[in-house]
Structure 1
Amino acid sequence: MSNKTNWSIDNAHSEIAFKVKHMMISTVTGHFEDFKATAKTDGDNFDNVEFAFSAKTASINTKNKDRDTHLKSDDFFNSEKFPEMTFVSKSFDGDKLIGDLTIRDVTKEITLDAELNGVAVDPYGQTKAGFEIRGEVNRKDFNLTWNAVTEAGSIVVSDKVKLVVDVQFTKQS
């Protein structure tokens, strides 16, 4: 068994965001402010990288306090009972990242588009690796089922949630 190279997320250069349609006419973007992630590779080769990610659901920020409070409630994440959401990868082929996403008490396999932007050494001699990860999940699959309908019959919150993840990892010595 070869020795794995460990990488840890560089929070200052990483962003975990989601986008959801609001009333089918505008898009609301939110971020998780408190998250961590690790990657394990064979050297600097990211084929079959093993990712592990977690975010504190109470760290959600959509730049609207009332909405954030609602998202932390049992209508959505129930941050008190389920403080973390997690993702553990199963495979990465350079294009598709497959793994188990757990939100609340539901774990489902999802497939994300993932691209390794490259590996580079920064001015301080640290080796960095950057990824762009995109995908879409149906929030109802994870028991985030709250909804309301406007007078005109529009659904207030779309079931489809786009994930927009830009992460940079630092190689651990």
Structure 2
Amino acid sequence: MDNAKTVWNIDTTHSEINFKVKHMMISTVTGSFEKFDGKVEASNDDFKNGNFSFSAEIDSVNTNNKDRDNHLKSDEFFGAENNPKLTFKSKSFDGNKMIGDLTIKGVTKEVELETEYNGTAVDPYGQTKAGFEFEGQINRKDFGLTWNAVTEAGSVVVSDKVKLIASLQFVKQ
């Protein structure tokens, strides 16, 4: 068989893209992007060397606090008006690690994501689905998300380190 690629689209109903960041270095705030899209093009069943890509709409950021979400959308953080999406495009995937380019606020950096392939199954409607967990860490300042403040006690309000966690299910097309 030639290297025919199979396309798998993200099943947004069964997927989530989350991030976690320390607040005042004592607690963790979790947020998510509610609107996102993506796909994989793979030529084999284990998805190795497949091409993964996704994008998330910055306006869909949700941390369960409207004021904080509006602050995140502002130019002090994501600058949603001029940079409506964040994007990721894989460069390599060996089955455990994915390396790719993450673009946030117009800045592209290479990131590494630990990857767990959870397998493939056929749902009750006859659709073939594949599940993945991705996890990685970025420094938000690398992407120009530099806002911060310091408490009276000298604690930084928002950590520079941001953990990215994506649980994605893909549907074979």
In the alignment, does 2:112 pair up with 1:111?
A: yes
Provide the rounded CA distance (Å) in 2 between the counterparts of 1:79 and 1:110: 21
Shift of 1:44: 2.6
Aligned to 2:68: 67
Cα distance per residue 1:101-145 (max 9 Å; x no partner): 000110000101011110111111111000000010000000000
Shift of 1:30: 0.3
Which one is further off, 39-48 or 92-101? Answer: 39-48
Tell me the secondary structure at the aligned position of residue 69 of structure 1. Answer: helix
**TM-score, normalisation: structure 2:** 0.98
Provide the rounded CA distance (Å) in 2 between the counterparts of 1:43 and 1:25: 44
Aligned AA (2:158): V
Provide the rounded CA distance (Å) in 1 between the counterparts of 2:46 and 2:113: 19
- Provide structure 2 residue ranges, at least 5 long, that are not aligned to the other structure: none
Aligned AA (2:80): S
Alignment of 1:14-163 (within 5 A): 14-163=15-164
Shift of 1:57: 0.6
Cα distance per residue 1:56-91 (max 9 Å; x no partner): 111100000000000000000000000010000000
Provide the rounded CA distance (Å) in 2 between the counterparts of 1:43 and 1:7: 12
Tell me the secondary structure at the aligned position of residue 72 of structure 2. Answer: helix
Provide the rounded CA distance (Å) in 2 between the counterparts of 1:28 and 1:127: 34
**TM-score, normalisation: structure 1:** 0.98
Shift of 1:43: 4.2
How many aligned positions are there? 172
Aligned to 1:169: 170
Tell me the secondary structure at the aligned position of residue 130 of structure 1. Answer: strand
Query: Percent of aligned pairs with the same residue?
Result: 66
Tell me the secondary structure at the aligned position of residue 47 of structure 1. Answer: coil
- Conserved? CA contact 2:46–2:95, under 8 Å: no
Tell me the secondary structure at the aligned position of residue 119 of structure 1. Answer: strand
Aligned AA (1:34): K
Tell me the secondary structure at the aligned position of residue 94 of structure 1. Answer: coil
Name the Cα RMSD after superposition. Answer: 0.8
Provide the rounded CA distance (Å) in 1 between the counterparts of 2:53 and 2:136: 17
Q: Could you list the runs of 4 or more consecutive aligned residues of structure 1 that deviate by over 2 angstroms after TM superposition?
A: none
